[in-house]
Amino acid sequence: MNKIEATENIANQVIVFAKRTGQPVTMDSIWAAFSECAAGHRGSYLSASAKTANAYTVATLVRKHLRYDSHLLAI
């Protein structure tokens, strides 16, 4: 898996959480997704993604995907 795939995987986890709960995305929620995935609670694939991806690149990708759902953005 390359860094782009890893970043997309973590960004998708953050986006799904935000849409499911209605909570805005913050850097704290991005770091929480990293922590949960890296610990292996979401499987080995997402664990490897969390160890490869960059949090600030994930934030940029989340902003890009949620630009039309601006009520979910706090970053």
Domain of residue 52, residue span: 3-68
Residue 58 lies in a domain: yes
Opening angle at CA 17, ends 21 and 15, nearest 5: 120
Residue 9 reports pLDDT greater than 80: yes
Residue 37 lies in a domain: yes
**Whether 21 contacts 71, CB under 8 Å:** no
Residue 39 lies in a domain: yes
Residue 24 Ramachandran class (φ > 0 left, ψ -120 to 50 alpha, else beta): beta
Looking at the structure of the chain, the number of domains it has is 1
Q: Which residues contact 26 (CB under 8 A, 6 or more apart)?
A: 74, 75
pLDDT at res. 28 = 94
Residue 75 lies in a domain: no
* Residue 70 binned pLDDT confidence (cut-offs 50, 70, 90): confident
pLDDT at res. 69 = 81
Sign of CA dihedral 51, 55, 60, 61: positive
Residue 19 lies in a domain: yes
Residue 42 lies in a domain: yes
pLDDT digits (tens, 9 = 90+) for 39-60: 998 899 999 999 999 999 999 9
pLDDT at res. 53 = 96
pLDDT at res. 42 = 87
Q: What is the mean pLDDT of the chain?
A: 92
